[in-house]
Structure 1
Amino acid sequence: MKTLTDLFQTFPARGDATACIHRTGVRRLLFSYAKIHDLSLRMAAWLGSQGIGAGDRVVLWGPNSPWWMVAFWGVLARGGIVVPVDFMSNAERATMIAELTRAKLILQSNDKLERVHRLPAQLMEELAFLLEKIEPQSSVFNASPDETVEIVYTSGTTGNPKGVVLSHRNLVANILQVNQHIPVVSSDFRFLSLLPLSHLFEQMGGFLTPLYNGAAIVYIRTLKPSAILEALREEDIYAIIAVPRLLLLLKGSIERKLAAKGLDRTFSRFLTRMDKVPKGLRKELFLPIHRQFGRHFTLFVSGGAALDPEVFLFWDRLGFTLLEGYGLTECSPVLTANPLDRQKLGSVGTPLPGVTVRIVGGEILVRGENVFAGYFQNPAATDEVLQNGWFRTGDLGEFDGSGWLRIKGRCKELIVTGAGINVYPDEIEALLNRTAGVRESCVVGLDRGAGEEVHAVIVPDGGGRPLDEIIDEVNRQLDDLHRITGGSVWTEAEFPKTTTLKIRKFQVKQRLQEGANASAGGAVDRLVLLIGKITGMPAERITDDALMVADLGLTSIGRLELVNALEQEFRLDLEDSIIGPQSRVRDLREIITRRENILLREHFRLWTTSAPAMALRRFGDALLHYPLASAFALLESQGREHLDGIAGPVLFVSNHLSYFDHPAIMFSLPEHWRYATATAAWEEFFFRNFKNSAQKVWKRCAFEYASLAFTVFPLPQTRGFRGALRHMGRLADRGKSILVFPEGERSVDGTLLPFRLGLGIMVRELAIPVVPVRISGLEKVFPRGAAWPHRGAVRVAFGEPLYFTTESPTEIVAVTRKAVESL
């Protein structure tokens, strides 16, 4: 293998083996290697139709997904150059990078409220519909090893991002080096992709390495805690490419759960005694924790920043394998790593095969085929770091007696005090982060005119411990020459960070020097930006006291979009029900600041679609339901031929006349459709709208019966319906169709009422055909308000399936309602 296109050409031979799984939050979609290969060639053909040729740059500004993968390989198959942009970057940065690289096209995301408008653009999510009509490109561009694959702009922790030009030779060399150094990945592996694919650490460890070995990659739409844990439980994950901050967050999640059960002290004491216990026994002792990660979970790979020894010891003592490595974007990116058979505390391991590392004046210098040839159109910056065949990393390090590398910090972050003493901020931050009262810390050097001052900035943990007391405790652990001499409390929810969760220290330092860190760039600003994008309101109208609905005009669809955006931006677990008529902007800000996860107890049951449950439903229909329905309704069905040739699942959308609507539709369907369809029913009828305890018990019993006998599930109307939407997605993943009544209430005289806009969200997220259904006659047989049904004729008509692609939710609702009305 000499080029990445050689790797791409191995995909067809892997055939139906799973390349990636996309968990959208609603659906679970599988993509085989053969499918990715076919879609990528279609992508290449489409790029050709847009005038993209060899050497042309294409910006990828979207979240991790199969469509990012298809776009990447499509650009390479066309001979183009990929320019990945961090999904969390704003439109200004994306535009700047596109203009610097003179990109001809930008592929952006519907999940990003901001858009780039200065050059041709295409939404990644629309590729699924767009590529269906394109014939695959007949051949793959024949790249040479030294041709450019991508231009990657650094994350900007120093405030001076540069475009790193990487060739096929660089990336292929690192793939082979990584897999020779850590020969553990097989085709059985599944990687959970959490870091952005614009970052070379994830791209090498969680994208190219799995594909090189025929493994599978799991993508999740939002990186919120519940989505991560759910994927770990359900997808049999083997490995995660992680940054230290993510490992710390997972550690905190485990400790909070244990503390809630009163087991934290016992656990902590037990854990410290694990150092001499064999790893296999540790796994058995902490089996309940290991089960949360899946039965085959094998390893974490940590990189991107220094790993706190306490975090390493936590996972190691639990029996997990944690491999720490070191690298830079300029090195494709991996340079060193701990091997699988031995992990050394505080070390980033030994150099990969073919990588040479030496220390000159404390700085780490490297060379190898994986090292880049220069920055994009920046010869001065290139000459500064590439000297006599060696790349100056800008990192400080040392080898221990066994030849294992230890990282001391960044050259630019090294603090030189007035006494000429070198202070490494990472070492002090590690102490601060383990001190009571500190949630997170950042140590910078502030020049007061007589050398730099060691200045600690902390984000407090909410316990109210004074800053002076925290600094005194840490200083007692340091020698006199390295002590903290000044401190500040950061008043925002967290420090400004890259998407790999490294603190942008230059921004912290800049704001300290300006003396104003209370509001700029914090949670408040981002929240106002998101609300403004969704509601269309100017920023000055979005005040703390503004009511989300009455003052800012937030619609039901806007509410769902805002909660999705908040989860994406702040990595929280929320429900759209948190925004009600009385919700104000300040309420959302408090939830974000407290990192408060809002989860509700739901009443969804997948087991009601199982074979035993369907057998009971068939028995009930034959014995009771059908005789009862036929005693009153003389059924006539029309248009069932429209269901021929559809494999399912589909979304049946019907008007609503009577409590008999469900049996009338079910008994009008062919049997194989009837027992593969679940029905959404008004949640409030079962769980909220009751006058007394007796009625509450009766309605709960009615739900239990309907759930089993009719495969009914609740769909709320007065609160958020995201839980119901997720349940619908799970049903669709299992091949089950869904029946909904989008009017939300029964019509008195048969007149079709307006459809709820939530239908548009359902159709867009489920991505299945819509079959319109029209019932007539039931308004006379069992009308609204009647105590007992009357015998009469009932007609159920099925329309032709509707296939939606890029339509908006409002357009989907209008087209669907018209189709139902016309039957």
Structure 2
Amino acid sequence: MPKPIINRSFSDKKALITSQGDITYSQLLKSIQQFAQLFANKGYTKVAIYAENSPSWIYAFYAALQNDCIAIPIDFLASAEDVAYIIDDCQPELLFISSGMTELFAKVDLKTQHKPEVLVFEEIAIDETVSESQWLAPEDDNTTAVIIYTSGTTGSPKGVMLSYTNIKENMNAVIGCGIFTPDRQVMVFLPLHHIFPLVGSLMVSFYVGTTIAIAPSMQSADLMKTFADNEVGVFLGVPRLYELMYRGIKAKIDQSAIARFLYWLVLKTKNRKLGKTLFKKVHEGFGGHLQYMISGGAALNKEVGTFFYALGFDIMEGFGMTEAAPMIAFPRPGNIVIGATGQALPGLTVEIRDGEIVAKGPSIMKGYYNRVEETAEVIKDGWLYTGDLGYLDKNGFLYITGRKKEIIVLPNGKNINPVDIEMKLDGYSGAIKEAGVFLHNEMLHAVILPDFNFLSENGVEDINQYFRDVVISPFNAEMSSYKRIMQFTLVNSELPRTRLSKLQRFKFEEFLVQKEKKKTASDEPDTEEYHAIKSFIESQVDMDILPDHHLVFDISMDSLSKLSLIDFIEKSFGIKLDEEQLLKFPSIRKIAEHIQSNKLFHKTDQDSGWAGDLKDNSDVILPKTSFLLHPIVNAVRGFFRLFFQFEGKGMENIPEGACFFAPNHESKLDAFLVLSYLDKPTLMNTFSYAKKDHVKSGVRRYVASRSNVIVMDLSKDLKHSILKMAEVVKQGKKILIFPEGTRTQSGKLGKFHKTYAILSSELNVPVVPVVITGAYAAMSSGAKKIKRGEKITIEFLPAISPEGKTPEELNALVREKIAEAKNR
């Protein structure tokens, strides 16, 4: 007698825990029978499901199997073209959808030739008199159970036919590892249309008789609430999800010196029990019962795996593919090697042939639906040629090194694994959110999604130049010549991936095409909001604006221009935004759409500038001046004299009363270098500023609040910070401000931003250009130690009056005077 697909030993036990309520195994079997009755005796052979995860999805899936139909899960996030292709390819007689998918399905229906019967979950009339399902399994386990369409990394979806034998063999092998047991809860989080969560979290759980907790959505809040409300012991996720978890937890650890030390101690001692004890709060954050973190679908970052393993979690990276139902290799509890994907599952034989991983056994697919030739390309004499490259160590642990089809062959014959370069790029700079590498015009080309928050926080405005000089050039210097990035393209949307996070490299060319299209006018929205925003931005920057331009990436708006735009949006439409929120919009078009949907009014006669606010009385509190400031600065000057040939000149050019000190920015020492040559009265009446990130600790914030330091949050309260600067000079005092915003990366004079020039012009306050020379040589950007003996000079140039000059003219003149002095 065949073994039941769903364990029948626990009729009153919870089978499913959902946000709508709990469902016992008895209720589960009854609901499956009710769904099966909807199309019993109709002669259907294939049933497709196009919906989000839900109990109804599960009922429909098992009802299809009960009625001897092939179940065909369809990716509910796929494009209308892909869904239509799948429906026309496999031609199901019945299609289940949810009410949430009806609008999208209408688009699919316009594209399909085949028209199945459609049932909407929420509209199904359930027969409550139906009893529990008595179905066990088909008589012939070699019949096809499911067709899973792979989203693919290289082209159109292919339908993988998996038999009951394929699935049962894989489930039995995984259960044999001892992870899935009746008393250990499993979470269903990933979409069930993919084989990894379908077999690995749903089918194997019902097969062994455990309880499943279903996360209501893939939102992080729903994920963590599902952990908190249940006793989840096994969780399946993709590497990018684990990386996000890692970043969030690691950031909190890094904020505390004690926590950093404890983590170092755990790594040093390799004591996982100690890690679990010391970081108990991390475990409690996952509900306190999570033991097994299973990762699949793509390569897991070794740093991420090491982190969770050290904290006491069994993070288990397996290797498999849809064609193997799905696991080929998997770690065993107590025998985990981070970086390896475990050993071959029982019943499977794994070999390496010409560097490629091949596998043979009862879980290998029957073939691709309607694709005999393509099946023959990957299955030869019963061996599945995975297309993945790797090696086996002496203990049988399998290591993945890349994809055979993705290996780049350069014109000089050199072979490159793009994954290696991508992993190095991803961890090389905080400015990189994600990166992909491919061959374009016979050269290595990188497609990079920048981290716009990082760039904004670090005052980067010319992004292309920053990536050329500060990211790509230093990166290439560390690489072998043939592995260097020769070209790069910055994008403002996530890189194309499969649902399990594998890069779809074949789509990278589209980014280059889109980039070219941006250079020409596209269909402009004909709305008053769009035209108002466009006109305002064009008044701030010297270029024509297109609807798909990004504020930073395409337009290079500096912080001041973004502040002006935020102010304009609030005054014109009544919508409050901060810079962080503004940067989340991928284009001007999307900003206009947001305004159109959320505006409170539209005033067309608003003053588009915020500078007029500077003259108003501002309710701002300036930092206090401590009597310790002068002795501290004197001590620092003495320190400088010990280590450098240090001199200052031009102090006679410092005017009485208010002024702006505007120095070039060469090193971390610059502020103290300038302040150390001010006499005591001038010093006590001179203010400077620091970015919020530079004064994170309580001690630093305390010192800053008593040292004439204005703390600026460039992403949230820039306007308030500027009003503080205005208040300083309105009180007849002085302020030190670096027009470049950030330290030079090359020693050369950078672009000057005009914030201080606007303040100077509006308030009629002179500017004193200050020339710093030698500081870059003494301690350049990125240097951790000073270079002793260097000659450093601070020179105060004659003050420049703003009268008769626009802010742009004043800014240009100050930079010109500093450049002339540096070149003397």
Which TM bucket (shorter chain)? 0.5 to 0.7
CA contact 1:238–1:298 (8 Å) conserved in 2: yes
Give the root-mean-square deviation of aligned CA atoms.
3.3
In the alignment, which of 71, 78, 86 is matched to residue 60 of structure 2? Answer: 71
Instruction: For 2:483 and 2:280, locate their aligned partners in 1 and report how far apart those are by CA, in whole Å.
Output: 42
| Distance in 1 of aligned mates of 2:527 and 2:30 | 47
Which runs of structure 2 are paired with 1:28-47 in the superposition (5 Å)?
28-47=20-39
Matched, 1:351 2:322: no
Residue in 1 that maps onto 2:413? 420
Q: 1:415 to 1:186 in 2, by over 3 A?
A: same
Whether 1:458 aligns to 2:451 is no
Distance 1:273 1:473 in 2: 32
- Change in 2 beyond 3 A, CA 1:344/1:479: farther
**One-letter amino acid of the counterpart of residue 79, structure 2:** N
Equivalent residue of 1:254, what SS? helix
Instruction: Measure the CA separation in 2 of the matches of 1:268 and 1:245.
Output: 23
Distance 1:131 1:214 in 2: 26
Matched, 1:504 2:504: yes
Per the TM alignment, residue 134 of structure 1 is displaced from its structure 2 partner at its CA by 5.5
Please point out which of 125, 128, 143 is paired with 1:147.
143
Report how far residue 151 of structure 1 moved: 0.7
Identify the match of residue 117 of structure 2 among 116, 120, 126. 120
Give the conservation status (yes or no) of the 8 Å contact 2:236–2:293.
Answer: yes
Contact 1:21 1:216 (8 Å CA) reproduced: yes
Say if 1:292 and 1:402 are closer, same or farther in 2 by CA, change over 3 A: same
Partner residue of 1:287? 280
Aligned residue for 1:95, secondary structure, equals helix
Q: Tell me the equivalent position of 2:220.
A: 225
2:169 to 169, 173, 187: 173
CA contact (8 A) 2:263 2:275 kept: no
Give the C-alpha shift of residue 220 in structure 1: 2.2
Aligned counterparts, 1:551-570, within 5 A: none
Mapping for residues 571-586 of structure 1, pairs under 5 Å: none
Q: Secondary structure at the match of 2:358?
A: strand
Cα gap change, 1:508 to 1:402, in 2 (>3 Å)? same
Secondary structure of 2:266's aligned partner: coil
The one-letter amino acid paired with 2:317 is E
Q: Could you tell me which residue of structure 2 aligns to residue 700 of structure 1?
A: none
- 1:373 positional shift: 1.8
- Is 1:409 the counterpart of 2:402 in the alignment? yes
The residue number in structure 1 matching 2:488 is 487
206, 211, 226: which one aligns with 1:211: 206
Residue matched to 1:80: 69
Q: Which amino acid aligns with 2:194?
A: H
Closer, same or farther: CA 135–84 of 1 in aligned 2, 3 Å? same
Question: 1:7 matched to which residue of 2?
Answer: 5
Match for 1:7: what amino acid? I
2:451 is aligned with what amino acid?
Answer: D
Distance, in Å, in 1 between the alignment partners of 2:121 and 2:516 is 39
CA contact (8 A) 1:444 1:509 kept: no
Deviation at 1:513, TM superposition (A): 5.8
Aligned pairs for 1:239-278 (under 5 A) are 239-258=234-253, 262-263=255-256, 267-275=259-267, 276-278=269-271
Distance in 1, Cα, partners of 2:529 & 2:401: 44
What corresponds to 2:327 in structure 1? Answer: 334
CA deviation string 1:341-377 (max 9, x = no partner): 1221221111001111111111111110000121101
Residues 395 and 409, structure 1, Cα contact 8 Å, conserved in 2 = yes
Q: Go from structure 1 to structure 2 and tell me whether the alpha carbon gap of 1:89 and 1:279 turns closer, same or farther (over 3 Å shift).
A: same
Q: Distance in 2 between matches of 1:447 and 1:136?
A: 59
Q: How many residues align?
A: 529
Q: Aligned in 2, Cα 1:362/1:587: closer, same or farther, shift over 3 Å?
A: closer
Q: Mapping of 1:630-641 within 5 angstroms? A: none
Task: Give me the whole-angstrom Cα distance separating, in 2, the residues matched to 1:236 and 1:283.
Answer: 17
CA contact (8 A) 1:62 1:124 kept: no
Amino acid at match of 2:230: E
Distance 1:505 1:517, change over 3 A: farther
C-alpha distance after superposition, 1:585-619 (max 9, x if no partner): 999985565999xxxxxxxxxxxxxxxxxxxxxxx
Distance in structure 2 (CA, Å) of the matches to 1:198 and 1:453: 37
Residue 320 of structure 1 and its aligned partner are, at CA, apart by 1.6
Q: Which amino acid aligns with 1:479?
A: S
Q: How far off its partner does 1:453 sit?
A: 2.4
User: 1:544 deviation in Å?
Assistant: 6.5
SS in 1 for 2:232: coil
Mapped partners of 2:510, 2:475: distance in 1: 25
In the alignment, the residues of structure 1 paired with residue 341 and residue 292 of structure 2 have an alpha-carbon distance, to the nearest angstrom, of 15
Give, as a single letter, the amino acid of the residue that structure 2 aligns with 1:66: P
The aligned residue for residue 16 of structure 1 is 12
Q: Structure 1 residues 477, 233: closer, same or farther in 2, change over 3 A? A: farther
Question: What is the CA deviation profile of residues 112-138 of structure 1, one whole-angstrom value per residue up to 9, with x for unaligned ones?
Answer: 3412544321122344x5343666677
Return the letter of the residue paired with 2:486.
T
Identity %: 28
Q: For 2:524 and 2:78, locate their aligned partners in 1 and report how far apart those are by CA, in whole Å.
A: 20
**AA partner of residue 21 (structure 1):** I
Kindly indicate whether the alpha-carbon contact (under 8 Å) linking 1:196 and 1:500 is maintained by their aligned counterparts in 2.
no
Aligned 8 A contact 2:320 2:327 in 1: yes
Q: Is the 8 A contact 1:60 1:108 kept in 2?
A: yes
Q: CA deviation at 1:503?
A: 2.6
Match of 1:107 in 2: 96
Alpha-carbon spacing, 1:542–1:124, altered in 2? closer, same or farther (3 Å)? farther
Query: Does the 8 A contact of 2:329 with 2:342 survive in 1?
Result: yes
Q: 228, 232, 245: which is aligned to 1:237?
A: 232
**Structure 2 match to 1:157:** 153
What SS is found at the alignment partner of 1:312?
helix
1:395 maps to 388
Give the aligned residue type for 1:39. Answer: S
Greater Cα offset, 108-117 or 132-141 = 132-141
Q: 1:197 aligned to 2:192?
A: yes
TM-score under structure 2 length normalisation = 0.60
Closer, same or farther in 2 for the Cα pair 1:141/1:495, shift >3 Å?
same
Q: Distance in 2 between matches of 1:39 and 1:330?
A: 30
Q: 5+ unaligned residues in a row in structure 1: which ranges?
A: 526-537, 548-580, 597-823
**1:188 — aligned with what?**
183
What residue is the counterpart of 1:467 in the other structure? 467
CA 266–471 in structure 1, closer or farther in 2 if over 3 Å, else same: farther
Q: Residue 2 of structure 2 contacts residue 137 of structure 2 at CA under 8 Å; is this kept in 1?
A: no
Residue 315 of structure 2 aligns with an amino acid whose one-letter code is L
Render the CA deviation track for 1:615-656: whole Å, top value 9, x for unaligned.
xxxxxxxxxxxxxxxxxxxxxxxxxxxxxxxxxxxxxxxxxx
